[in-house]
């Protein structure tokens, strides 16, 4: 089990001119912006079965139910603003450039709205839509429309249905090659607000430590399921714990 203490007792993590930082964010970083986490009571997820709204089988059964769910999430996300933790990570990128690899499990756009430019959305993006045919040449495109009417669902120019650009359960997350390279190159690995229950993301910390010398730190109000893989669990909310987390030198 990692050393788990309140974040106030930890010193900032030094980031010098060579340090490579991998940050993995989960639903917890957006919780204080008003976006329900996966496990939240009263969250959107509680009212829906994952198999119905976030799986290829659910899509095959009833695309209208799936689009209604993601339309509701688009509507909710449109009202949410980035918080101090998103802003702190955007500032870190401004300071160290591509030595920060920011990977999020979140499909919301709050990192970008805070100013982050290079964000790897391994589970897709809420405000993108793509053709359901894997071989279609049309790339995912920005889409903030709400599709609440099952009789008027969007179609691709090729004739197939358009689907949310989301990695559903049972599908392979995006950019796994890029992620693997960044994990093997990082000196510092930080997870913010992720329960450590959803793989492959929950395995990134072990991969980073296997690959080399990465120091691994978890930020969140409670230890995650994979706490034993971290050197430290700094217990606190993202908006309090992330802004003072890094000490950029040089
Ligand atoms: P999760 O819901 O399983 O876990 C959320 C974690 O955040 C918990 O460990 C909790 O302790 C922590 N947390 C709660 N409040 C916090 C705060 N204020 N500061 C820091 N941490 C806080 O979420 P997950 O681990 O990201 O995995 C669930 C899956 O659901 C992911 O695949 C993700 O794609 C998806 N999801 C995304 C969003 C989003 O886009 N914002 C929201 C919900 C779920």
Q: CB–CB of 100/79 below 8 Å? A: no
Domain locations in the chain as residue ranges: 1-34+81-123+172-250, 36-79+128-166
CB 195 near ligand 1, within 6 Å: yes
Interhelix angle 176-185/204-211, rounded to 10 degrees, is: 50
**Ligand 1 centre distance from Cα of residue 14 (Å):** 26
pLDDT at 7: 54
pLDDT, averaged per 10 consecutive residues of the chain (250 residues), comes to: 61 96 98 86 73 95 96 95 98 98 98 98 98 95 97 97 97 98 97 96 96 91 96 95 94
pLDDT at 137: 92
CB 34 near ligand 1, within 6 Å: no
Q: CB–CB of 53/65 below 8 Å? A: yes
What is the number of other CB atoms lying within 10 angstroms of the CB of residue 50? Answer: 12
What does the alpha-carbon distance between residue 82 and residue 74 come to, in Å, rounded to a whole number? 15
pLDDT at 211: 79
Per residue in 135-191, pLDDT (tens digit) is 999 999 999 999 999 999 999 999 999 999 999 999 999 999 999 999 999 999 999
Q: Say how many CA atoms lie within 13 Å of 41 toward its Cβ.
A: 0
Pocket test for ligand 1, best of 23, 38, 205 (most atoms within 8 A of CB): 38
CB 35 near ligand 1, within 6 Å: yes
* pTM recorded for the entire structure: 0.94
Provide the CATH number for the domain formed by 1-34+81-123+172-250 in this structure.
3.40.50.1220
Phi, psi dihedral angles at 193 (to 5 degrees): 60, 55
pLDDT at 3: 62
Second CATH level (architecture) for the domain 36-79+128-166: 2-Layer Sandwich (3.30)
CB 103 near ligand 1, within 6 Å: no
**Ligand 1 centre distance from Cα of residue 26 (Å):** 5
Q: CB–CB of 114/144 below 8 Å? A: no
pLDDT at 40: 66
Active site residues: 123
């Amino acid at each position: 089990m990692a050393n788990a203490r309140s974040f106030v007792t930890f010193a900032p993590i030094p980031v010098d001119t060579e340090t490579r930082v991998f940050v993995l964010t989960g639903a917890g970083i957006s919780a204080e912006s008003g976006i329900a986490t996966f496990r939240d009571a009263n969250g959107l997820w509680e009212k829906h079965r994952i198999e119905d709204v976030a799986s290829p089988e659910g899509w095959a059964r009833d695309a209208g139910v799936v689009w209604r769910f993601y339309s509701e999430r688009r509507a909710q996300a449109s009202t949410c603003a980035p918080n101090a933790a998103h802003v702190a990570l955007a500032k870190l990128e401004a300071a160290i450039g591509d030595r920060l690899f920011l990977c999020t499990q979140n499909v919301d756009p709050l990192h970008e709205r805070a100013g982050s430019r290079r964000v790897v959305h391994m589970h897709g993006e809420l405000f993108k839509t793509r053709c359901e045919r894997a071989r279609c040449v049309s790339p995912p495109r920005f889409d903030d429309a709400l599709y609440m009417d099952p009789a008027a669902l969007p179609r691709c120019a090729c004739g197939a249905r358009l689907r949310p650009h989301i990695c559903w359960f049972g599908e392979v997350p995006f950019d796994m090659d890029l992620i693997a390279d960044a994990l093997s190159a990082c000196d510092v690995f930080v997870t913010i607000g992720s329960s450590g229950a959803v793989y492959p993301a929950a395995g990134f910390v072990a991969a980073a430590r296997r690959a080399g010398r990465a120091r691994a730190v978890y930020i969140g109000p409670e230890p995650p399921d994979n706490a034993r893989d971290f050197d430290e669990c700094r217990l606190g909310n993202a908006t309090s714990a992330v802004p003072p987390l890094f000490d950029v030198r040089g």
